[in-house]
């Protein structure tokens, strides 16, 4: 008997019919003698709908109340799924995050898990129940309900798998696995049999929504055996592991893009020590994540620098920089929206020269200007304007030999949710 964690995303439980299908899959594992712990997301677009409703009442809802509201989405799913499993003759018990022993830091909207006490889960598994846990939520030691950030049910699943020492954590979604790029956008994307934790972490951080970055971080830290597969087909999925075999001649494993990029430029700043420390210190204190930072050369004792933030944080970042103008005087502050960061990722990039040159050449051939460039050992990102981002992704996908001849997208329905 294995102990298996199965996580079903919003589209997989988007209707009662889909819930029934999921219940059948869970029952199959139980009938095969496995212990099963299931993590579920809110049904379909429930989380988005709840956010819309809150905004109709309050443009800036209190974060505590927002967590109280959003946690409800997952609670509906767990109860319904437990009922569906009961209906086909299997014992099942649903738990909220708190009941499952998931403790988080006291941060609303994006809390990290600090501890898991899975006693009740073990008890329920041992008494033959399929255990259904609400994803995306936990509670602080003070008993306040928190959520883990959008897409956070993946993190619940992997963290639980680590805590109960599950044999495998299966993430069921609406595509057949992890692809070389988003298969909903690039039809000739290639399904990957394997990908390393490090590569997956880069792709997830760089915009590939298929797994939440924190879930991958957890899987790497606790060496959780992770598989991404479709809840709509029986096809084998993608294994996410420490070392993944790279197909012959393939240096780039995947391409990700992030459409939510804004650039802020601060021009004519005094070229004196401490400027960057003050600006980025102030941004960090305001909870703004800064991504790429570029400083240009100095002229007459003045420097220019630019950085990128998520588009949602642009206005806040501008106010923060303006608020410290007394301490860090500058000549001008400008900003640009509608930028896209396109990234290539592959463990093989470390030992293969010419990967960057190929990327730049492919973009140059399209006559597209690079606004910013940044690299790490296993990735290279460029920032370009949004209009032609899709062309760039397609060109890079074929430049690095990732295209498949057949239509790669075989999972899931036409309509997402
Ligand atoms: P779930 O509701 O199951 O958590 P998500 O929407 O969060 O599903 O994640 C699955 C989606 O991720 C897919 O429908 C696909 O459009 C998108 N995606 C983006 N990049 C990739 C990739 N490289 N491989 C697979 N899917 C990707
Ligand atoms: N329901 C939450 C969301 O939509 C969490 C999740 O689906 O993972 O973001
Ligand atoms: Mg998701």
Task: Give the domain CATH number at 47.
Answer: 3.40.1160.10
What pLDDT is attached to residue 228?
98
Q: Which residue has the higher pLDDT, 407 or 320?
A: 320
Ligand 1 lined by 151 (C-beta under 6 Å): yes
Asked, for residue 206, whether it belongs to a domain, the answer is: no
* 366 part of a folded domain: no
- Per residue in 296-352, pLDDT (tens digit) is 877 888 999 999 999 999 999 999 999 999 999 999 999 999 999 999 999 988 878
Q: Which domain holds residue 82?
A: 3-173
Is 381 inside a domain boundary?
no
Give the containing element (helix H, strand E) for 314. helix 314-323
Q: Is residue 41 part of a domain?
A: yes
Query: Domain total for the chain?
Result: 1
Q: Is residue 197 part of a domain?
A: no
- Which residues are paired to 94 by β-bridges? 132
Q: Is 8 in the pocket of ligand 2 (CB under 6 A)?
A: no
- For 26-53, write each residue's pLDDT tens digit: 999 999 999 999 999 999 999 999 999 9
Is residue 126 a part of any domain in this protein? yes
Q: Is 259:340 a contact under the CB 8 Å cutoff?
A: yes
Residue 158 counted as domain residue:
yes
* Nearest atom, ligand 2, residue 136 CA: 5
Q: In this structure, which long-range contacts are made by residues 218-226, counting pairs with CB atoms below 8 Å and at least 24 apart in sequence?
A: 218/155, 218/158, 218/159, 218/162, 219/158, 219/162, 219/169, 221/162, 222/158, 222/161, 222/162, 224/158, 224/161, 224/162, 224/166, 224/169, 225/167, 225/168, 225/169, 226/158, 226/168, 226/169, 226/171
Half-sphere exposure at residue 290, Cβ-oriented, CA atoms within 13 angstroms: 24
Phi first, then psi: what are they for 155, rounded to 5°? -65, -40
In this structure, is residue 267 part of a structural domain?
no
- Cβ–ligand 1 contact at 41 (below 6 Å): yes
């Amino acid at each position: 008997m294995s102990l298996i964690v199965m996580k079903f995303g919003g589209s997989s439980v988007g209707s009662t019919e889909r819930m029934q299908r999921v219940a059948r899959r869970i029952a199959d594992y139980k009938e095969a003698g496995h212990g099963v712990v299931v993590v579920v997301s809110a049904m379909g677009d429930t989380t988005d709908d709840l956010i819309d409703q809150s905004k109709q009442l309050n443009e800036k809802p209190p974060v505590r109340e927002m967590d109280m509201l959003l946690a409800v989405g997952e609670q509906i799913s767990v109860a319904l799924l437990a009922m569906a499993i009961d209906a086909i003759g299997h014992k099942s018990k649903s738990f909220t995050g708190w009941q499952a022993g998931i403790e988080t830091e006291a941060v609303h909207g994006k809390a990290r898990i600090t501890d898991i006490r899975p006693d009740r889960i073990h008890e329920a598994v041992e008494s033959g129940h399929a255990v259904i846990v609400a994803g995306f939520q936990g509670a602080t030691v003070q008993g306040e309900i928190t959520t883990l950030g959008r897409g956070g049910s993946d993190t619940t699943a992997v963290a639980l798998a680590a805590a109960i020492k599950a044999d495998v954590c299966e993430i069921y979604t609406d595509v057949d696995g992890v692809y070389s790029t988003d298969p909903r956008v690039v039809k000739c994307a290639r399904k990957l049999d394997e990908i390393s934790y490090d590569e997956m972490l880069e792709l997830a951080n760089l915009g590939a929504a298929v797994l939440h970055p924190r879930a991958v971080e957890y899987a790497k830290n606790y060496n959780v055996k992770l598989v991404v597969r479709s809840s709509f087909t029986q096809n084998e999925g993608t294994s996410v592991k420490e070392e993944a075999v790279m197909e012959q001649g393939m240096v780039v494993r995947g391409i990700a893009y992030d459409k939510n990029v804004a650039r802020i430029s601060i021009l004519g700043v005094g070229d004196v020590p401490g400027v960057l420390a003050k600006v980025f210190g102030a941004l960090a204190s305001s909870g703004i994540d800064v991504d790429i930072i570029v400083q240009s050369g100095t002229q007459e004792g003045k420097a220019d620098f630019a950085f990128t933030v998520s588009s949602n944080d642009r206005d806040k970042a501008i106010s923060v920089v303006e608020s410290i103008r007394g301490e860090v005087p500058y000549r001008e502050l400008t900003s640009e929206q509608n930028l896209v960061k396109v990234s290539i990722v592959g463990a093989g990039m470390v030992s293969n020269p010419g990967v960057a040159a190929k990327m730049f050449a492919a973009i140059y051939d399209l006559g597209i200007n690079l606004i910013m460039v940044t690299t790490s050992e296993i990735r290279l990102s460029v920032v370009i304007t949004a209009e032609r981002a899709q062309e760039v992704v397609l060109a890079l996908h074929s430049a690095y030999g990732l295209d498949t001849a057949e239509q790669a997208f075989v999972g899931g329905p036409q309509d997402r949710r």
